[in-house]
Structure 1
Amino acid sequence: MSNFLEGIPKECIGLQGLGVHYIEFSCIQPALGRLYLPFEKFYDPAIALVWMQGHPLVPILACVLYVAFIIAGRAYMKSRPPLSWRRTLAAWNLGLSLFSWIGAFRVAPQLYYNLTSYSLRSNLCDDPAALYGSGSTGLWVQLFVLSKFPELLDTFFIVIHKKPLIFLHWYHHITVLLYCWHSYVTTSPSGIFFVVMNYMVHAVMYGYYFLMAIRKLPPWFNPIIVTAMQLSQMFIGVGVTIVAWYYYSNPVEGRGCHIRKENNVAAFVMYGSYFYLFAQFFVARYYKVKVNKGEAKKKTV
């Protein structure tokens, strides 16, 4: 067994289908473990992982169908009045928000434990199957990756409601799906950082969308909070990829690094482009609107 298993009770050590030993988080944290359902504990992701590794065209096909729907759907709705599926949209957003909250509460404690128990190099270089990719945490990491498929349906509501479909929206959905799939099947160690951030941001974001759909948004809630969280996520994502690249380029003798060069480069480009696009969106939505309102107010004085 690896050194990180030393001092861990045997009953908290699992062996997943690919022969990797791991620590079951719900077992070493009894207080939190009481909140876990039986099926979550000692979940083995191997079967789904192997299937995903053998079917690399699945996310590509999904993206092709997604783009085809956007083109066909917008053409179909062009001469038709917008539909009003507000209740369905509200239920959809509420479901994604609750899913993201649960995912955040399942994966974030594992990341905190890893960061306080092992070095940052270990967190960004060691086998993710052992660090977080198996057992209860592995289940919610796997569900996170697979959730990028149903999240494509966000665009369905935009199309049928005839709302503006900006480049950032569909670009984000496509690239996230492709990157998450590739990151998962190539077992990228840095994945847990991105999973935790995305779960937390989506928990708040979809909750905001739900409240907007039912027209119950509290007066004190400013949507700038959501965009600020998104920008922070992208900034941290760029930082994680830079640190990961440093460890990849400066290996320690006798220790390998599970980082894949092409995956880390893709993450850097993806998060860098997101940061630029979200910053652009932030300025256009909040700063320019504020300036325009100020100018309009001056004209009326």
Structure 2
Amino acid sequence: MEYITPITQMIDNFTWDSNTPLSSWVFPASTSVTYLVVVFLLKQFMKNRKPMSLKGVSIIHNFNLILLSFAMMAGVLEAAYRQALEEGPFSLICERTPFAVQGRIGFWIYVFYLSKYYELFDTVLLALKKKPLIFLHVFHHMAMVPITWQWLNDQWLVGSWWCTFVNSFIHTIMYYYYLQTSLGNDCWFKKYITTAQIVQFLTGTAMVGYWFTIRNKENCQGGLAPAIVSFTVNSVFILLFIKFYINSYKKGPAASRPKKE
């Protein structure tokens, strides 16, 4: 007989509803606005000050995100595998129920949503270090909190589980890179992280595009609004990341660091 731990039971029985912490639209909306205000204020605050080192904080922050990203990657992949065995692989690309983002797979998508709040601290560190805050960085961080909330609120599975998996996979490597640079070490693969980010958005856009073509025919139950928003934002990210890649790696020997998503 399989022993069910309280944690396993909590994950398996996860439910997204009005009682779930940070489930109200007020949280992602206010966070995105507050984030932009804080970015502006930090830039003004640091304008005539010397950059802060924050080496210890950066090491802890990047190490935390390596562990968190790996846990989300492994967790959602295992949950998707279980669902494929129980409900068939097609259930991962076409929601068979209007409550598809629940249970084990919903739990890891929810953790991914929560992680986007924590990742906003990336910008705080960059601002205090007086590192460049490019539009791509700020826009990405600002957008991901309401987007991931919408996945859960509208119970849209196809794009949400895949993005949780592939984004967490890339972030595991990316934050390892940032950990190494925080420690003063150099890494040879920074160019390939940006390439992987572009591939991530291309695969996500392709999956959502396919979902659009089968949605009515197969009666997929996921919400239409998050699919439209994610497809649109993904398309913008593809253009922005390609532009970043060209500017960073094709215009001279001094390549920029890979963008922190």
Under TM normalisation by the shorter chain, which class is it? 0.7 to 0.9
Shift of 1:37: 6.1
Query: Sequence identity of aligned pairs in percent?
Result: 22
Pairing of 1:77-156 with structure 2 (within 5 A)? 77-115=46-84, 118-120=88-90, 123-127=93-97, 129=99, 133-135=102-104, 137-156=105-124
Letter in 1 for 2:163: F
Paired residues, number: 251
Q: Which residue of 2 aligns with 1:282?
A: 245
* CA–CA separation in structure 1 for the residues paired with 2:23 and 2:67: 31
**1:164 equivalenced with 2:151 (yes/no):** no
Shift of 1:133: 2.7
User: Which range moves more in the overlay, 120-129 or 263-272?
Assistant: 120-129
**1:273 equivalenced with 2:213 (yes/no):** no
Letter in 2 for 1:120: F
Please tell me the root mean square deviation across aligned C-alpha atoms, in Å.
2.5
Q: Which residue of 2 aligns with 1:205?
A: 174
- Which secondary structure does the structure 1 equivalent of 2:252 belong to? helix
* CA–CA separation in structure 1 for the residues paired with 2:163 and 2:98: 13
Shift of 1:119: 4.4
Contact 1:77–1:160 (8 Å) recurs in 2: yes
Contact 2:23–2:149 (8 Å) recurs in 1: no
TM-score by length of 1: 0.76
C-alpha spacing 1:98/1:197, structure 2 compared with 1 (3 Å)? same
Alpha-carbon deviations, 1:19-66, whole Å to 9, x = none?
A: xxxxxxxx7xxxxxx9x96413343322x5323586212111011111
Pairing of 1:24-63 with structure 2 (within 5 A)? 38-43=6-11, 44-46=13-15, 49-51=17-19, 55-63=24-32
Letter in 2 for 1:251: K
Q: Which residue of 1 aligns with 2:258?
A: none
Moved segments of 4+, more than 6 Å: none
* CA–CA separation in structure 2 for the residues paired with 1:107 and 1:205: 19
Q: Which residue of 2 aligns with 1:234?
A: 201
Q: Which structure 1 residue ranges, 5 or more long, are not aligned? A: 1-10, 12-26, 28-33, 293-301
Shift of 1:128: 7.3
- Which secondary structure does the structure 1 equivalent of 2:93 belong to? helix
* CA–CA separation in structure 2 for the residues paired with 1:241 and 1:99: 26
Contact 2:80–2:92 (8 Å) recurs in 1: no
Q: Which structure 2 residue ranges, 5 or more long, are not aligned? A: 256-261
* CA–CA separation in structure 2 for the residues paired with 1:152 and 1:291: 27
Contact 2:32–2:143 (8 Å) recurs in 1: no
Q: Which residue of 2 aligns with 1:251?
A: 217
Compare relative contact order (CA 8 Å, sep 6+) and give the higher one, 1 or 2: 2
* CA–CA separation in structure 2 for the residues paired with 1:49 and 1:274: 30
* CA–CA separation in structure 2 for the residues paired with 1:128 and 1:289: 50
**1:66 equivalenced with 2:29 (yes/no):** no
- Which secondary structure does the structure 1 equivalent of 2:106 belong to? helix
Contact 2:112–2:164 (8 Å) recurs in 1: yes
